[in-house]
Amino acid sequence: MKSRLLAIMLGWVFVLAVTPVFGGAGRDRSGGVTTIRVWTDNASDKALRDQQVARFNEGVGKEKGIQIEYTVYGANYHELIRNATMSGNAPEIFRSTGEDIQRFQGAGYLVSLEEMPGGQEMIARYNPGDLMKNSQVFDGKVYTFPYSMTTFKLIINKDMFDAAGITPDKYPKTWAEVRAVAKQLTDPAKGQYGYITGLQSPWVMRSYLTMPNAINTGNTGFDNENLRFQFSANRIAVEAVHGMVIDGSVFPGFEGLDADMMRARFAEGNIGMIPGASFDCGVYNTQFPAKCDWLPIDPPTNGPGAPRYRDFVDASNLLTMGVAAKKNPEKAMEVFQFFYSDENLAELYEAGLYVPFRQEAVGLARNEPAAKGFKEFAGVPNPAISPASPENIVQVEGLTYRETLQRILAKGYSETPAQVLEDLDKRYNDAVAKLGGQAEDYRMTADFTRK
């Protein structure tokens, strides 16, 4: 009897332990109110998003019997959402990376917008060229929409630059100059270092290295016209960061830093330079308020006379619909439309949190963004929208390109960075060859040169 009672008690402990994390899909708490769960890892806009969600819950939500349960997760988000989808506990609406969308829709974890009430009307708001194959469209169906444009810069600690006598005309413009300035700013006795990166968040290698470096390569690692991977085109940038590690100019212990940790460290004011994206405006203004005067400047070039391409930007998606949304499709779609509304995006634009993809949202803004750094990040004339790459579907032998770049920077190879990158190209292009006709889905001809 005692053992049976103990088993029952342990069972209830388990239920109570897992319920706050997953809960029930579209559950009705009381009085006919349906809870629609929304999961994301977008932490930089959390304060304003919470206000918007609260207004919805007290207004439209109360009228229509909808309660949004909005949750922002940290560094473990991608593992959590993958586990939740596989176990059938994913929320109605959640953020998915491009890699996850491809994986989830193939496994039946996502619902296309065509299947949802009002989905066709939302699709009609976008021009045909806005929705790209393998970014928003998979197997001919739309699963998400571009929400904002992510632009890329190099962020400098102006206080450290001023103290070192580095005037604006001497700000680094090339990778060689970045390395030289990083060495000049480094003073371990004062706990000051010229540069910082982090190796615990794989996306850092793309968003903070290959993506901004596309101004030097004309692509983000994949040549969509010739269907060839070209990671070795980033050699000068990789060698520069690798060289800063060897110089001792990179903050020590960077191998154990994730993205938030490296950004929090920069915000403390003892790091000279950090690569940055437009979403970092929210990071350094609200999430980790910077204790230094910081300024976004253009990403470094390869040097005088080297080709210079247009600034590449990411058309960032916001949310996808999980299969749980089909239990309450009208209410789930009401919430999805709320998050994608131009009115909400205009408010986020005014706060300097997003560069809107839809210019209609910019037109609704009542004030120009005053957030520090936003003007510089938004000031990207004639950007090139980064096309999709087959990097997430090729079966590569050995380490992925992100893992390879991480290992290079951690001084994990006896070979030179150039040799490692050459081998990386070969491994990826061997994998592309095995795709056959499937690779044609990624073919795109475009002129990314600056006119």
Nearest Cα neighbor of 197 from 151, 237, 170 is 237
The answer to whether domain 19-146+318-370 and domain 152-310+394-434 are alike in fold is yes
Q: What integer is the mean pLDDT of 38-46?
A: 93
Q: What is the mean pLDDT of residues 342-365?
A: 92
Percent of the residues in the chain that have a pLDDT greater than 70, as a whole number? 92
Tokens of 253: 């212990």
| pLDDT score of 27 | 53
pLDDT per position as a tens digit, 139-177: 899 999 999 999 999 999 999 999 999 999 999 999 999
Q: Looking at residue 379, what is its pLDDT?
A: 86
CATH number of 19-146+318-370: 3.40.190.10
Q: Is the pLDDT of residue 396 over 70?
A: yes
pLDDT at 28: 52
Average pLDDT over residues 252-265: 96
**pLDDT band (50, 70, 90) for residue 446:** low
Coil vs helix vs strand at 160: helix
For range 40-56, the mean pLDDT: 95
pLDDT for the residue 132? 86
- DSSP letter for each residue of 27-95: -B-STTPEEEEEEE---TTHHHHHHHHHHHHHTHHHHHTEEEEEEE--TTHHHHHHHHHHTT---SEE-
- Provide mean pLDDT across the span 392-411: 96
Higher local confidence (pLDDT), 445 or 57: 57
Task: Give the per-residue pLDDT at 26.
Answer: 54
How high is the pLDDT of residue 44? Answer: 83
pLDDT tens digits along 302-324: 999 999 999 999 898 999 999 99
Kindly tell me if the per-residue pLDDT of 4 is higher than 80. no
Out of 10-14, 182-186, 354-358, 371-375, give the one with best mean pLDDT: 182-186
**152-310+394-434 has which CATH code?**
3.40.190.10
pLDDT for 441: 86
Domain range annotation of the chain = 19-146+318-370, 152-310+394-434
Strands 66-72 and 34-40, by their bridges, are: parallel
* Residue 16 pLDDT > 90: no
How many Å from the N-terminal Cα to the C-terminal Cα in the chain? 82
Q: What are phi and psi of 24, to 5 degrees?
A: -110, 145
* 63-104 tens-digit pLDDT: 999 999 999 998 789 899 999 999 999 999 999 987 789 889
What value does the mean pLDDT take over residues 363-376? Answer: 92
pLDDT exceeds 90 at position 12 = no
Q: Which residue has the higher pLDDT, 253 or 384?
A: 253
What pLDDT, on a 0 to 100 scale, did the predictor assign at position 21? 42
> Is residue 402's pLDDT more than 90?
yes
The pLDDT assigned to 98 comes to 76
DSSP-derived letter for residue 353 is: S
d(CA 332, CA 348): 22
Summarize pLDDT for 197-249 with one digit per residue, the tens.
999 999 999 999 999 999 999 999 999 999 999 999 999 999 999 999 999 99
